[in-house]
């Protein structure tokens, strides 16, 4: 067997295992994968002339990327209109027919261009018209295929989707960073990572990519066909995303009376569980299934008319205010920080929250020992939004606690409650 055969076999095996990993069905351990990977790297180092730019080892990145060249999008990258209730989804979409719904991933959108079945460009959304060329960084993302199969057209195709960071990766990353440098949420972490100048650092941060658009493939009748095509090419798609209903992707006749109730329930179900998922999800996207209908509906200036986002409201929970610390920012700003009994909010562990300044503390009328309401949406740093239950000291028993606790204590001690 020649060296090039060895290269090809190893590269093929690595791609296969990367694909199985994407599907959540790995056949080998991470350590075995790494060992195979190192073997290919060693071979490539020895026989540099045989190295394929799309080799799986390209994913480890190269040392330095000086600046991101700007690239104009072939087609504008749009945003999505929002709805806050299921009824608003129906009203704003104004469509009767089949729709699908899927998680709205809280990351950053990327456009991937393939030519001759090879990844040639990865560009961020930027201002929608022009984005940053982050190809070197995108190549490090394991769930972005570098080469497409023979089934894909050799002509230019574009795949769009969301690059994101799983919560588990986000937590690990943040725990290694100083307070001032911590990312507020997985979206900021993903965006910050994509903009790193050292693609080896990008590779280490383990981003993922979920694809939901395919431009340049003919003869796709329904959205589910499109997703299956992407799936065949080893992309992670909404078909892999967590959902509460059984169907791989749910389709429902919108506007046909009761059927929307089912989708509203599925969406509500996702709202209830999304904080327990490893995926950063900030809502659901409802999309027209029929691709010809999508083309007829067309795009608005800001968003397509065939899709709408249902955003989850920011989460709130009550917890104990254990202490207040003052943090001194890089520029000398003083911020009171609430030290809380840890709660899970919008998928992250919260044990500190901002109280902005002294005036805010006065406005809230909050004191250590109180049970407070803490709010966190994916976009913002957790904040204390109100006092839920005040903490008192009882002069008769000398105990501190909520009114209910103090009354219970008096009763236990047989003290009359005047
Ligand atoms: S469909 C706009 N589907 O949300 C063109 N977008 O707030 C069609 N996003 O710019 C987009 N998950 O970056 C679509 N399942 C999903 C999505 C999704 C996240 C992002 C996308 C878009 C932004 C709008």
Q: Percent helix, strand, coil in the chain (nearest 5)? A: 35, 30, 40
Q: 343 and 287 in one domain?
A: no
78 lines ligand 1 (CB under 6 A): yes
Residue 378's pLDDT is: 61
**Cα(332)–Cα(175) distance, rounded to whole angstroms?**
24
pLDDT in tens, the chain (418 residues): 566 677 888 888 888 887 776 555 667 777 777 788 888 888 888 777 777 777 877 765 544 344 689 999 999 999 999 988 877 888 888 888 888 888 899 999 999 999 999 999 999 998 899 999 999 999 999 999 999 999 999 999 999 999 999 999 999 999 998 877 788 788 889 998 998 888 888 988 899 999 999 999 888 999 989 999 999 999 999 887 766 665 545 556 554 444 566 677 777 788 888 877 888 988 889 999 999 999 999 999 889 999 999 888 878 899 999 999 988 877 777 888 999 999 888 767 789 988 888 888 888 899 999 999 998 866 567 888 888 888 888 888 888 888 888 889 999 999 876 6
285 lines ligand 1 (CB under 6 A): yes
Domain boundary among 311, 335, 356: 311
Instruction: Assess if residue 66 is contained within a domain.
Output: no
Nearest CA to ligand 1 atom 18: 104
Ligand 1 mutation pick, 83, 162, 301, max ligand atoms within 8 A of CB: 162
**Cα(223)–Cα(188) distance, rounded to whole angstroms?**
29
* CATH, residue 33: 1.10.287.610
Instruction: Assess if residue 64 is contained within a domain.
Output: no
Instruction: Assess if residue 345 is contained within a domain.
Output: yes
212 lines ligand 1 (CB under 6 A): yes
Catalytic residue among 38, 39, 51, 104: 104
Q: 408 and 342 in one domain?
A: yes
Length of the chain, in residues: 418
Q: How many domains does the chain have?
A: 3
Range of the domain at 329: 315-413
Q: Which two tokens stand for residue 77?
A: 């990258």
Q: 337 and 209 in one domain?
A: no
Residue 259's pLDDT is: 56
CA 57 to centroid of ligand 1, rounded, Å: 30
* CATH, residue 132: 3.30.470.30
Residue 48's pLDDT is: 74
Residue 254's pLDDT is: 57
Instruction: Assess if residue 364 is contained within a domain.
Output: yes
Q: 273 and 170 in one domain?
A: yes
Q: What is the distance in angstroms between the CA of the first residue and the CA of the last residue of the chain?
A: 94
Q: 298 and 325 in one domain?
A: no
Q: 230 and 300 in one domain?
A: yes
CA 55 to centroid of ligand 1, rounded, Å: 30
Q: 251 and 148 in one domain?
A: yes
**Cα(129)–Cα(118) distance, rounded to whole angstroms?**
23
3-state secondary structure of 55: coil
Q: 274 and 344 in one domain?
A: no
Instruction: Assess if residue 70 is contained within a domain.
Output: no
By CB atoms closer than 10 A (0-12, 13-18, 19+), residue 107 is buried
Residue 229's pLDDT is: 95
* CATH, residue 353: 2.40.50.140
388 lines ligand 1 (CB under 6 A): no
**Cα(331)–Cα(313) distance, rounded to whole angstroms?**
33
104 lines ligand 1 (CB under 6 A): yes
Please name the residue that has the structure tokens 């919108």: 254
Residue 377's pLDDT is: 67
Instruction: Assess if residue 65 is contained within a domain.
Output: no
Instruction: Assess if residue 145 is contained within a domain.
Output: yes
Instruction: Assess if residue 103 is contained within a domain.
Output: yes
Residue 402's pLDDT is: 85
Please name the residue that has the structure tokens 């994913």: 59
């Amino acid at each position: 067997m020649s060296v090039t055969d060895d290269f090809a076999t190893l590269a093929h095996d690595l791609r296969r295992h990367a694909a199985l990993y994407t599907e959540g069905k790995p056949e080998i351990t991470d350590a075995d994968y790494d060992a195979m990977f190192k073997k290919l790297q060693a071979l490539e180092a020895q026989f540099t002339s045989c190295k394929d730019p799309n080799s799986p080892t390209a994913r480890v990145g190269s040392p330095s990327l000086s600046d991101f060249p700007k690239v104009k999008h072939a087609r504008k990258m749009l945003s999505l209109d929002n709805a806050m209730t299921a009824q608003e989804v129906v009203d704003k979409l104004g469509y009767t027919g089949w729709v699908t719904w899927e998680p709205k991933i809280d990351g950053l959108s990327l456009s991937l261009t393939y030519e001759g079945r090879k990844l040639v460009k990865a560009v961020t959304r930027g201002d929608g018209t022009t984005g940053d060329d982050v190809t070197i960084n995108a190549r490090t993302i394991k769930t972005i295929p570098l080469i497409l199969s023979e089934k894909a057209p050799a002509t230019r195709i574009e795949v769009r989707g969301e690059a994101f960071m799983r919560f588990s990766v986000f937590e690990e990353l943040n725990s290694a960073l100083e307070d001032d440098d911590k990312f507020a949420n997985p979206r900021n972490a993903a965006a910050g990572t994509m903009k790193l100048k050292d693609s080896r650092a990008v590779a280490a941060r383990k981003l993922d990519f979920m694809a939901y658009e395919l431009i340049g493939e003919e003869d796709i009748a329904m959205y589910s066909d499109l997703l299956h095509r992407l799936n065949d090419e080893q992309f992670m798609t909404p078909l892999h995303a967590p959902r509460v209903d059984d169907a791989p992707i749910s389709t429902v006749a919108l506007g046909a009376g009761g059927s929307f109730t089912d989708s509203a329930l599925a969406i509500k179900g996702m709202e209830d569980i999304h904080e327990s998922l490893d995926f950063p999800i900030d809502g659901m996207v409802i999309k027209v299934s029929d691709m010809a209908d999508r083309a007829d509906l067309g795009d608005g200036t800001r968003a397509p008319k065939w899709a709408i986002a249902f955003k989850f409201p920011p989460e709130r929970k009550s917890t104990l205010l254990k202490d207040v610390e003052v943090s001194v920012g890089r520029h000398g700003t003083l911020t009171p920080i609430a030290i809380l009994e840890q709660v899970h909010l919008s998928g992250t562990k919260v044990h500190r929250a901002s109280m902005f300044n002294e005036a805010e503390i006065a406005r809230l009328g909050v004191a250590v020992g109180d049970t407070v309401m803490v709010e966190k949406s994916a976009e913002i740093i957790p904040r204390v939004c109100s006092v839920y239950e005040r903490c008192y000291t009882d002069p008769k028993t000398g105990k501190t606690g909520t009114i209910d606790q103090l009354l219970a204590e008096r009763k236990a001690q047989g003290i009359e409650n005047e």
